[in-house]
Amino acid sequence: MALTATDMATGLDTIRRVRDLRACVASWRGAGLKVGLVPTMGALHGGHFSLVRRSVASLDRTIVTLFVNPRQFGPNEDFARYPRDEAGDAAALARQGAQVLFAPSLEEMYPEGAVTTVAVPDIGDLLEGEFRPGFFTGVATVVAKLLIQAAPDVAFFGEKDFQQLCVIKRMATDLDLPVTIEGCPIVREDDGLALSSRNAYLSAEERKRAPALHRILQSVVTRVREGGAGCVAAAEALAARELLVAGFEKVDYVAVRDASSLAPIASVGAPARVLAAAWLGRTRLIDNLPLSGS
Amino acid sequence: MALTATDMATGLDTIRRVRDLRACVASWRGAGLKVGLVPTMGALHGGHFSLVRRSVASLDRTIVTLFVNPRQFGPNEDFARYPRDEAGDAAALARQGAQVLFAPSLEEMYPEGAVTTVAVPDIGDLLEGEFRPGFFTGVATVVAKLLIQAAPDVAFFGEKDFQQLCVIKRMATDLDLPVTIEGCPIVREDDGLALSSRNAYLSAEERKRAPALHRILQSVVTRVREGGAGCVAAAEALAARELLVAGFEKVDYVAVRDASSLAPIASVGAPARVLAAAWLGRTRLIDNLPLSGS
């Protein structure tokens, strides 16, 4: 590993070039080791750490990637102000037991002339896709690249971005990528707010209101469990009104959907999920809950 | 290789499942062997065989894929009548020294629910892309899948489909696929007609006229070499008229372009290519020539 910078105190290598990442993974493979990958945009929190711990517990080596991917931000979104703290992230990852932080530059990921896109139509056009055009194409493209670059056995993604998890599973299956995509449960604050790097944007006042999103999604789950598929539309509409009453300025959607296709559900038999996106001031929060099972 | 059907007389294995292809390649890798891939849609001719021979000569094992990819045919194109002769192709490949014919079913390549696409904007939107919308997205998607499935060291493509070669090089680079894309020279009949599976569509009368395409492209090369970039537009227009006089019904384009980006050229210094597509009856022929060098 002559090409990597090792923090001797922690054992975490920071790698910035794809070729060095490949050399590292090839040496692990040569030793028969299994590799886990945790793609992130940095600004790491307990949600990310739960993914890292899961990888560390189940695989021999864990790579965490840190790349704030411009292609998944819209022109009016928060790419420039997205929180960045690589040094803090690296220190935390060393404590979690990861072996490699892969933190490529923009030029390394998208050299001049790079134009290829990976798109997941249908599932990527719904919900978040309606409100963030091109978002999932940006996500699918960068994740396809990371999975091809690192060639892990398992890659871990949080259920917090539930639609993203569905899109990535679809993409990895459709492109025949030899990797298992593993979704991991949402990690929440004590008051129910799902951990998110964007929570850092919330004012103290907004932070107090934010847990209403989780609480109101719980109400949707209860109502649909009790009332069946026939009450879905009413439960979605009621939840949107409740969010406004709770201090959210705008509700992009509250939707009960099939847990795989994200299509509207006709009955409550198959696994389903309630998903929502709503605005607290300038901050857009998303959250979701399973309708049945865990 | 218990899962493959071996033609004992020839040593060519026909594999139909991605998992069996992977097992085969993994066993080769384990033995330290290098692998070449030659993607085709079957209806093999001397052009394909030149790719296979090149792979056989330079790598330890050669896989030829045979898949008539519906995603690269437009609704009014010739998917249904595209020539198919797997038995003949397999016999010929055995003679050329290939080890594996990978001939997956439609369901194996695109299982129900498969929606992901790989697109190469810009370079894939020009020339052929203008006349065959979606064509290069179909090509890039299936080639990305084949490269991921087979994980070859080198993949071989003919310069006959020159823009396709450019698109695939761009795609493989952009997605970080660990493969070398090697373009191979066009193979021609004695009268200059580039070999193509679609030549089988030509009537005897059309077949006589067809070599005019190559001859007229040679004239463009001569004129632009002599006249410089300033005469490109005139040379393109003259060639289109000559094609009509030579019996072609319609000319989609004659274009002198940069050999990498396929953008119009400002000077004749950088490598350039003249490319054309024109119709003989119901058959669309394409051809191209380098403007300089070989």
- Segment A3-17, tens digit of pLDDT: 444 444 458 999 999
Q: A-chain residues within 8 Å CB-CB of B121?
A: 115-117
For residue A35, the model assigns a pLDDT of 98
> CA A58, CA A62: separation in Å to the nearest integer?
9
Rounded to 10°, the helix A212-227/A232-245 angle is 160
Superfamily for domain range B197-289 = Pantoate-beta-alanine ligase, C-terminal domain (3.30.1300.10)
| CA proximity to B137, closest of B72, B76, B69 | B72
Angle at Cα B241 formed by Cα B236 and Cα B242, nearest 5°?
95
Which one is catalytic: B48, B53, B169, B223?
B48
In total, the C-beta contacts within 8 angstroms joining chain A to chain B are 73
Q: How far is CA A258 from the centre of its chain?
A: 19
| CA proximity to A192, closest of A256, A288, A261, A276 | A288
Cβ under 8 Å to B: A residues 188-217: none
> Nearest CA to CA, how far is A2 from chain B (Å)?
21
Both tokens of residue B90? 């397999």
> Nearest CA to CA, how far is B173 from chain A (Å)?
8
For residue B269, the model assigns a pLDDT of 83
> Nearest CA to CA, how far is A254 from chain B (Å)?
25
Q: Is the CB of residue B22 less than 8 Å away from at least one CB of chain A? A: yes
Q: What is the mean pLDDT of residues A33-56?
A: 98
pTM for this predicted structure: 0.95
Q: B-chain residues within 8 Å CB-CB of A174?
A: 114-116, 145
CA dihedral B212, B216, B222, B223 (to 10 degrees): 160
For residue A10, the model assigns a pLDDT of 59
Q: What is the mean pLDDT of residues A194-217?
A: 97
Q: Which amino acid is at A49?
A: F
B45 classed as catalytic: no
Q: Residue B4 carries which DSSP code?
A: S
Burial of A83 (0-12, 13-18, 19+ CB in 10 A): middle
pLDDT tens per residue across span A230-254: 999 999 999 999 999 999 999 999 9
> Residue A175 and residue B118: Cβ atoms within 8 Å?
yes
For residue A259, the model assigns a pLDDT of 95
DSSP structure string for A227-244: H-GGGHHHHHHHHHHHHH
Cβ under 8 Å to B: A residues 154-183: 170-171, 173-178
Handedness of CA A237, A243, A246, A250 (dihedral sign): negative
Domain parsing of chain B, residue ranges: 5-184, 197-289
> CA B250, CA B243: separation in Å to the nearest integer?
8
For residue A237, the model assigns a pLDDT of 98
For residue B4, the model assigns a pLDDT of 46
| CA proximity to A28, closest of A15, A43, A45 | A15
Which residues partner with B92 through β-bridges? none
Q: A-chain residues within 8 Å CB-CB of B116?
A: 118-121, 140, 170-171, 174-175
Which residues partner with A222 through β-bridges? none
Both tokens of residue B92? 């010929």
For residue B118, the model assigns a pLDDT of 98
Name the residue among A22, A120, A261 with its Cβ closest to that of B116: A120
To probe the interface with B, which of A21, A118, A149, A171 has the most B CB atoms within 10 Å? A118
pLDDT tens per residue across span A78-111: 999 999 999 999 999 999 999 999 999 999 999 9
Q: Is the CB of residue B90 less than 8 Å away from at least one CB of chain A? A: no
The fold for domain B5-184 equals: Rossmann fold (3.40.50)
For residue B175, the model assigns a pLDDT of 98
> Nearest CA to CA, how far is B109 from chain A (Å)?
8
Nearest CA in chain B to A117: B119
Angle at Cα A36 formed by Cα A32 and Cα A42, nearest 5°?
145
Q: What is the mean pLDDT of each run of 10 residues along chain B (294 residues)?
A: 46 97 97 98 97 98 98 94 96 97 98 97 96 97 98 98 98 98 98 97 97 98 93 97 98 97 90 97 97 63
Q: B-chain residues within 8 Å CB-CB of A18?
A: 176
> Residue B116 and residue A116: Cβ atoms within 8 Å?
no
Q: What is the mean pLDDT of residues A45-57?
A: 98
Looking at every residue in chain A, the average pLDDT score rounds to 95
Both tokens of residue B271? 């490598």
Nearest CA in chain B to A261: B113
Reported confidence tier of residue A269, pLDDT bands at 50, 70, 90: confident
Q: What is the mean pLDDT of residues A37-51?
A: 98
Q: Is the CB of residue A103 less than 8 Å away from at least one CB of chain B? A: no
3-state secondary structure B195-241: CCHHHHHCCHHHHHHCCHHHHHHHHHHHHHHHHCHHHHHHHHHHHHH
CATH class of A197-287: alpha beta
Both tokens of residue B45? 């001719």
Reported confidence tier of residue A48, pLDDT bands at 50, 70, 90: very high
Name the residue among B145, B170, B177 with its Cβ closest to that of A148: B177
